[in-house]
Amino acid sequence: MPRNFIYEALPMRVRFGADALDALPEELDQIGLQKVVVLCSPEQESTGQQVADALGNRSVGVLASAIMHVPAEVAQQASDEAARLGADGCVTVGGGSAIGLGKAIALKHGLPIVAIPTTYAGSEMTPVWGMTTDGRKETGRDPIVLPRSVVYDPQFSKTLPVSMSVTSGINAISHAVEALYAPDASPIISLMAEEGVRALTAALPAIVEDPDDIEARSTALYGSWLCGACLGNTTMSLHHKLCHALGGTLNLPHAQTHTVVLPHALAFNQPATPEAVDALSRALGGADDPARRLWDLAGELSAPRSLEELGMKEEDVDRIADEVTSRPYGNPRDVSYEDARGLLYRAWKGEAPSSDPAN
């Protein structure tokens, strides 16, 4: 029998299939948008232009200025430009950075977002925004930033490099893992989490084998949708706190950091979360130690497994351990400074995950 729980559905329209460019006008019609600005990263400007071209005179321009962690000055410039162009909405094409820029504009001007995600990070499914001022990232929740429509088209993720596909997919898995033991877990979200992990762990090896495998890309996007919904509907714990501190303080790369830390955070929490372990075990083909299985999988897919290879210095282990244990948050197990330090050291060194990292 499920425990007591609250489930609040987010107002969200999802369109899935390999026809995003044909489908976009209908998605804009649903919301009543006439003049949208297309947002993307500088590296994806040609993709942004392709979307603008498909929209014809309903596009008022492409802003290719999205970068990781949404610097406040970039958000300000894009908001001013969207207003100057008279945009009544934004179409984001890209990963968490492009969607993050759309969210910053939505927060300021209330412009609705239609998102075409091209990574597996899951930001399109959440009402969470982030903005960085003078190196400090502030985050918040506001329903106004939740995309009104999300168009998942595997063709748009086909160009995502293999290494980024793997780490982005494991980033998505981390949302599902923490949703399974979240303080506000619910049966429906746990179903999504289990299925999301199942889909992504099946798709990622196939993408490594053949990056053009459209079935695998489609399965990965499906998994990323489910895992993103987990992130949007529950409160994250130790793993996301660690990654937030590592990304915010040391500027480590987002998806790669999640990939390295996840097996360690999960191994630490496993003894306190038998139901999550059962669900993950089912999703991972019967693995009796899901944390170890995810660590092995990262190795099999040639993903990074140490924070050292991402550029972290050993002396930063203490600083991050202090940061993640200085403020309280919900986690299935209490985390002492020694636990956090031991866990981070193992992750830094690339050692196998342990449920008892302090020893």
How many angstroms separate the CA atoms of 169 and 202, rounded?
Answer: 11
126 binds ligand NAD (CB under 6 A): yes
User: Distance of CA 242 to CAs 224, 239, 359, Å?
Assistant: 21, 5, 19
How many angstroms separate the CA atoms of 140 and 135, rounded?
Answer: 17
CA 150 to chain centre: 15
Contact, 317 vs 347, CB < 8 A?
no
Q: Is the dihedral of CA 38, 44, 45, 46 positive or negative?
A: negative
Contact, 332 vs 272, CB < 8 A?
yes
119 binds ligand NAD (CB under 6 A): yes
Q: Which of 48, 89, 112, 122 touches ligand NAD by CB under 6 A?
A: 122
CB atoms within 10 A of CB 204: 29
Q: Which residue, 33 or 121, is less far from ligand NAD as judged by CB?
A: 121
CB of 41 to ligand NAD, least distance (A): 3
How many angstroms separate the CA atoms of 152 and 242, rounded?
Answer: 29
72 binds ligand NAD (CB under 6 A): no
How many angstroms separate the CA atoms of 67 and 40, rounded?
Answer: 9
Q: Which positions ≥6 away from 127 have C-beta within 8 Å? A: 10, 141, 142, 143, 144, 145, 146, 232
Q: Which residue, 28 or 99, is less far from ligand NAD as judged by CB?
A: 99
166 binds ligand NAD (CB under 6 A): no
123 binds ligand NAD (CB under 6 A): yes
43 binds ligand NAD (CB under 6 A): yes
Q: Which of 33, 41, 82, 89 touches ligand NAD by CB under 6 A?
A: 41
CB of 118 to ligand NAD, least distance (A): 3
264 binds ligand NAD (CB under 6 A): no
Q: Which positions ≥6 away from 326 have C-beta within 8 Å? A: none
Q: Which residue, 123 or 149, is less far from ligand NAD as judged by CB?
A: 123
* Per-position b or e across 4-27, b if 16+ CB within 10 A of its CB: eeeeeeeebeebbebebbebbeeb
59 binds ligand NAD (CB under 6 A): no
Subset of residues 204 to 263 that bind ligand NAD, contact rule: CB under 6 A: 231, 254-255
How many angstroms separate the CA atoms of 336 and 314, rounded?
Answer: 19
Phi/psi for 236 (5° steps) reads -80, 160
270 binds ligand NAD (CB under 6 A): no
Contacting range for ligand NAD; rule: CB under 6 A; set: 115-123, 181-189, 270-278, 285-293: 115-123
69 binds ligand NAD (CB under 6 A): yes
Tokens of 138: 């502030």
Q: Which residue, 38 or 287, is less far from ligand NAD as judged by CB?
A: 38
130 binds ligand NAD (CB under 6 A): yes
Q: Which of 118, 233, 259, 325 touches ligand NAD by CB under 6 A?
A: 118
Q: Which of 48, 95, 223, 353 touches ligand NAD by CB under 6 A?
A: 95
Interface map 296-335 toward ligand NAD (x if CB under 6 A): ----------------------------------------
- Interface contacts to ligand NAD, rule CB under 6 A: 41, 43-44, 68-69, 94-98, 100, 118-119, 121-123, 126, 128, 130, 156-157, 159-160, 164, 168, 231, 254-255
